[in-house]
């Protein structure tokens, strides 16, 4: 039986590519896509998700959550860091402008999450690719939700390397630290993929050239190839490394069960105040702490398996 999943995302380029791969993955049944505000604002995230579904036209269309949020945490990046629009394009999808109709069945993302978990108790797993705003709101709407979920897989936080937005904070947690604290303190089973692990898998510029050469020239294939090439160009120009990182691909590979991983049980929390520390993921490492274990932290992951799964997924989606 395929794993039932819901993907909560703020799709820029990499999230969009991973969603494309997920929708074509026979090991997964994507029931819904819920937009959150992060790299792009919530309204743009919703339009991007609608565009991806229309482009792939899967046999069973996942439901799309509603968001009308017009601001994005990415617009508040500290000086000196590249703006998400620089790295992902004006609308988050490279040079593509996602023109889509208005949603017919309009349901706010947190409410859609609650309804689907209630429809599939103990079966639905959520991939959290962006800030945890929607998940926290859903838990507030229905306090029983954490025990009805089949768990969360969350991209967020940094263990040892420092943050990517501030010296202490990773983007997803920094974007909404209050929501992150609420979710990480909840009793739901959760796998947390920190910055050091999520940024491990990456495609070099040569890898991208080879991959785009192998992708069939279909509408989906041409879209995916264009996003990969756009990401390579902006990475070469604005970032200090010679590859395109694929953080969301780590969450997808774990959900599909294709990547060997190492984890440790940990008591985690989030700092919600402080000019320097707001958004920092805090791990209670005290030997005799009374704090209860609240998350499974990924400390090691088979990066080669993640990349192989991602590349196969993109090619599979292009063929379909």
What does the pLDDT look like over 75-121, one tens digit per residue?
Answer: 999 988 998 999 999 999 999 999 999 877 789 999 999 999 999 99
DSSP letter (8 states) at residue 144: T
Q: How confident is the model at residue 250 (pLDDT cuts 50, 70, 90)?
A: very high
**Residue 112 is part of a domain; what is its CATH number?**
3.90.245.10
In the chain, the number of structural domains is 1
- What mean pLDDT comes out for the span 212-231? 96
Q: How confident is the model at residue 197 (pLDDT cuts 50, 70, 90)?
A: very high
Q: What is the structure's pLDDT at 241?
A: 80
Q: What is the structure's pLDDT at 166?
A: 94
Domain that residue 78 falls in: 3-319
**Global model pTM greater than 0.85:** yes
For 30, residues 6+ apart whose C-beta sits below 8 A from its C-beta are 5, 6, 7, 19, 22, 23, 58, 62
Computed over every residue of the chain, the mean pLDDT equals 95
Q: Which residues of 171-209 are buried (b: 16+ CB within 10 A; e: fewer)?
A: bbbbbbbebbbbbbebebbbbbbbbbbbbbbbbebebbe
Q: What is the structure's pLDDT at 242?
A: 85
Q: How far apart are the first and last CA of the chain?
A: 21
Which tokens hold the place of 107?
A: 């349901």
Q: What is the structure's pLDDT at 41?
A: 97
Q: What is the structure's pLDDT at 244?
A: 96
What does the pLDDT look like over 28-72, one tens digit per residue?
Answer: 999 999 999 999 999 999 999 999 999 999 988 999 999 999 999
Shortest CA distance to 14 belongs to which of 320, 317, 319, 310? 310
Classify 101 as helix, strand or coil.
Answer: coil
What does the pLDDT look like over 265-318, one tens digit per residue?
Answer: 999 999 999 888 999 999 988 877 667 878 999 999 999 999 999 999 999 999
Q: What is the structure's pLDDT at 276?
A: 87
């Amino acid at each position: 039986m395929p794993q039932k999943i819901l993907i909560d995302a703020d799709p820029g380029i990499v999230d969009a590519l991973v969603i494309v791969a997920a929708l074509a993955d026979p090991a997964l049944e994507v029931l819904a896509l819920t937009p959150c505000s992060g790299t792009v604002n919530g309204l743009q995230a919703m339009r991007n998700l609608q565009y991806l579904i229309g482009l792939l036209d899967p046999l069973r269309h996942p439901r799309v959550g509603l968001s009308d949020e017009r601001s994005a945490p990415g617009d508040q990046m500290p000086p000196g860091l590249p703006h998400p629009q620089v790295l992902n394009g004006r609308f988050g999808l490279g040079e593509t402008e996602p023109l889509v109709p208005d949603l017919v069945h309009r349901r706010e993302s947190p409410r859609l999450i609650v309804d689907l978990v209630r429809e599939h108790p103990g079966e639905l797993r959520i991939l959290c690719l962006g800030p945890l705003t929607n998940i926290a709101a859903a838990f507030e709407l229905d306090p029983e939700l954490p025990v009805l979920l089949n768990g969360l897989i969350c991209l967020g936080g940094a263990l040892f390397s420092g943050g990517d937005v501030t010296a202490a904070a990773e983007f997803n947690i920094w974007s909404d630290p209050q929501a992150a604290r609420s979710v990480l303190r909840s009793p739901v089973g959760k796998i947390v993929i920190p910055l050091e692990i999520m940024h491990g898998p990456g495609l070099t510029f040569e890898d991208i050239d080879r991959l785009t050469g192998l992708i069939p020239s279909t509408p989906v294939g041409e879209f995916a190839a264009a996003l990969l090439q756009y990401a390579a160009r902006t990475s070469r120009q604005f970032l200090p490394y010679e590859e395109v990182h694929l953080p969301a691909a780590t969450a997808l590979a774990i959900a599909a069960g294709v990547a060997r991983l190492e984890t440790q049980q940990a008591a985690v929390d989030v700092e919600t105040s402080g000019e320097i520390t707001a958004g920092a993921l805090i791990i209670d490492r005290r030997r005799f702490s009374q704090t209860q274990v609240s998350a499974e932290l990924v400390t090691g992951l088979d990066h080669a398996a993640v990349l192989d799964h991602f590349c196969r997924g993109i090619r599979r989606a292009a063929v379909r």
